[in-house]
């Protein structure tokens, strides 16, 4: 494979005891697998998530780290998370890669057959999707045991993209919400893939990650596309690198060439970038090459797990104790429907308040979109005033302005005068039907109201859809007890049968 990483890490290379680290990683993987369907419990397990915009080189970075040829079909990769489990061992050189789609059977693939791996990964993602556009409750699990990989588990989250149609708006919002929930979890390390061939202010994941990890204590920045950024010139590239490092605050950043074939070619192709980093006196913060990245994330993830395991254990034990308390009540003191409803309503209220606050940015986007569409409604003058006379008066009054009168400006002026005239001529029609009495008013209103009606209808539909998806459904999911959820599912099934 072109992007295979030829590196053998020994205990001396990493400073880790392989058997000990493997025990920790395997235990965490098992916990993820068992608790995957319960998001509240799954959030209590340490993890390392990979986030970034679509097409910033996330798949290429993972290919360099793992030696696995990941498909880079954005239409598939943006919709399903991939849990990549890498385990190092001297006796696993010929062991096949295993791929599991959700709860489906494990599929074994020859690790040297790149085409077969890509096809197996695509098939696994389609199985998880089951015809849906997006899936955030299940994932594709990839396991590779090999002497040439770091000991680590990485969860590659769907890439954020810009919706190109109204139908894609909802999918874009769901992807952002999934990433937001994962990176806000203190149990998660964050590998943030950032392209340096574009300004940081244009990268939507930048704010998501920065808001979730204020001190950047959990964030590791991976800079990609440096080879393309060289075309923008030395000064621009150095400015972007410095801004990313200053804004990120993260203690470690890495520059990785996703298309490099091996360590030497990567070092050669990024030599100029490494020189710029030295000129900025940032070589202590920014390391160049995937070799450095592999060693760092293995050590950092292992330390993170060791630090968080006691907390995870306590949280899970607390959940277990709560379950025992609830089980002891069964058959002894039945919980009344009113008590369940009261408890659920209190929980839902808390979740609704938080969800509503998070929804404000989406609400603003919808309102601004509606405002723009209303402003762009095309209206032609009705011809009920003297256009030449109006133009001459406007020209006389415009002499104090520095810029000339545009065609649109003149048109808007005529429309404003016509509105004024219609209003003045129609005062006697107040509280009386105007139909048939003022033809100009009737024509003008129909011309404007018809497109306005469509815009407002679309705004209301989009608003309620977003409100339901971003506020109501998450609050129901998080606020309802399991018994209430079962009851709702039963009612929905019964209603479906009757229909």
pLDDT tens for each residue of 243-253:
888 877 666 89
As a whole-number percent, the residues of the chain with pLDDT over 70 amount to 78
Sign of CA dihedral 284, 224, 194, 219: negative
Instruction: Write down the pLDDT at residue 403.
Output: 65
Residue with tokens 């994330």: 297
Q: E strand or H helix at 138, and its extent?
A: strand 135-145
In sequence order, what are the beta bridge partners of 156?
A: 50, 82
What is the reported pLDDT for 7? 32
- Model confidence pLDDT, tens digit, residues 421-464: 777 766 655 555 555 556 666 677 777 778 888 888 888 888 88
**pLDDT at residue 2, as a whole number:** 38
Distance CA 244, CA 252 (A): 12
252-257 mean pLDDT: 90
How far apart are the C-alpha atoms of 256 and 62, rounded to whole Å?
A: 10
With a cut of 90, say whether residue 49 has pLDDT above it: yes
Inter-helix orientation angle 18-35/290-329, to 10°: 50
- pLDDT at residue number 200: 77
Burial of 292: CB neighbours in 10 Å, binned 0-12, 13-18, 19+: middle
Q: Tokens for 47, please give them.
A: 């993890």
pLDDT at site 163: 59
Mean pLDDT of 241-263: 83
Alpha helix ranges (H) inside 191-289? 204-212, 226-229, 234-248, 263-269, 271-279
- What is the per-residue pLDDT for 33? 78
By C-alpha distance, which of 223, 215, 218 is closest to 240? 223
8/314: higher pLDDT: 314
29, 23 contact by CB (below 8 A):
no
Residue 4 confidence (pLDDT) above 50: no
The sign of the CA dihedral 198, 200, 203, 205 is positive
* Angle (CA) 256 243 365, round 5°: 100
Per-residue pLDDT tens for 196-234? 888 877 888 888 998 899 888 899 999 999 888 888 888
* Residue 13: band (very low, low, confident or very high) from pLDDT cuts 50, 70, 90: very low
Looking at residue 65, its pLDDT comes to 93
pLDDT digits (tens, 9 = 90+) for 128-169: 888 887 888 888 999 999 888 899 999 999 888 765 666 666
For residue range 79-132, what is the model confidence (pLDDT) as tens digits? 788 999 998 877 767 889 999 998 888 999 998 898 999 899 989 988 888 888
Nearest to 53 by CA among 170, 202, 153: 202
Mean pLDDT, rounded, of the chain: 79
Q: How far apart are CA 233 and CA 218, in angstroms?
A: 32
Q: Is the pLDDT of residue 3 over 70?
A: no
Distance CA 50, CA 468 (A): 28
Quickly state the pLDDT bin for 331 (edges 50, 70, 90): low
pLDDT at residue 494, rounded to an integer: 55
The structure tokens listed for 324 are 């025992």
The answer, yes or no, to whether residue 333 has pLDDT greater than 80, is: no
Structure token pair of residue 44: 């209590």
Q: Is the pLDDT of residue 26 over 80?
A: yes
The whole model's pTM is what?
0.62
> Which pLDDT score is estimated for 312?
85
Give the containing element (helix H, strand E) for 415. Answer: helix 407-425
Output the pLDDT for position 51.
93
């Amino acid at each position: 494979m072109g992007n295979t990483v030829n590196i053998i890490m020994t205990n001396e290379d990493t400073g880790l005891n392989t058997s000990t680290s493997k025990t920790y990683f395997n235990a965490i993987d098992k916990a993820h697998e068992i608790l995957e369907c319960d998001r509240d419990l799954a959030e209590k397990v340490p993890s390392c998530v990979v986030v970034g915009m679509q097409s910033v080189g996330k798949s290429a970075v993972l290919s360099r780290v793992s030696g696995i040829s990941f498909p880079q079909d954005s239409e598939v990769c943006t919709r399903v998370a991939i849990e990549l489990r890498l385990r190092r061992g001297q006796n696993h050189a010929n062991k096949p890669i295993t791929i599991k789609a959700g709860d489906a059977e494990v599929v074994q693939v020859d690790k040297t057959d790149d085409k077969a791996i890509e096809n197996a990964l695509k098939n696994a993602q389609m199985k998880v999707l089951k015809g849906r556009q997006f899936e955030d409750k299940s994932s594709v699990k990839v396991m590779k045991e090999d002497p040439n990989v770091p000991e680590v588990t990485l969860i590659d989250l769907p890439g954020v993209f810009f919706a190109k149609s109204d139908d894609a708006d909802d999918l874009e919002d769901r992807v952002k919400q999934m990433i937001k929930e994962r990176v806000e979890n203190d149990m998660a390390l964050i590998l943030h893939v950032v392209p340096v061939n574009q300004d940081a202010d244009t990268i939507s994941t930048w704010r998501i990650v920065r808001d979730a990890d204020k001190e950047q204590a959990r964030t590791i920045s991976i800079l990609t596309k440096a080879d393309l950024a060289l075309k923008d010139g030395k000064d621009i590239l150095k400015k972007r690198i410095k801004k990313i490092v200053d804004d990120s605050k993260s203690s470690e950043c890495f520059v990785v060439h996703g298309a490099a074939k091996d360590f030497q070619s990567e070092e050669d192709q990024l030599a100029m970038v490494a020189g710029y980093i030295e000129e900025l006196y940032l070589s202590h913060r920014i390391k160049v090459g995937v070799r450095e990245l592999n060693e760092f994330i293995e050590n950092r993830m292992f330390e993170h797990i060791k630090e968080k395991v006691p907390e995870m254990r306590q949280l899970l034990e607390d959940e277990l104790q709560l379950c025992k308390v609830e089980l002891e009540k069964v058959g002894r003191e039945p919980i009344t429907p009113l008590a369940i409803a009261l408890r659920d309503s209190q929980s839902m209220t808390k979740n609704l308040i938080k969800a509503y606050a998070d929804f404000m940015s989406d609400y603003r986007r919808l309102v601004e979109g509606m405002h723009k569409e209303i402003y762009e409604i095309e209206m032609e003058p009705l011809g009920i005033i003297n256009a030449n006379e109006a133009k001459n008066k406007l020209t006389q009054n415009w002499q104090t302005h520095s810029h000339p009168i545009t065609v649109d400006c003149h048109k808007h002026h005529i429309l404003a005068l016509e509105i004024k005239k219609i209003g003045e001529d129609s005062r006697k029609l107040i509280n009386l039907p105007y139909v048939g009495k003022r033809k100009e008013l009737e024509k003008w209103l129909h011309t404007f109201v018809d497109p306005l009606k469509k815009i407002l209808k679309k705004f209301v539909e989009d608003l309620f859809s977003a409100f339901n998806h971003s506020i109501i459904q998450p609050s129901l999911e998080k606020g309802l007890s399991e018994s209430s959820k079962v009851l709702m599912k039963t009612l929905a099934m019964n209603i479906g049968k009757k229909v």
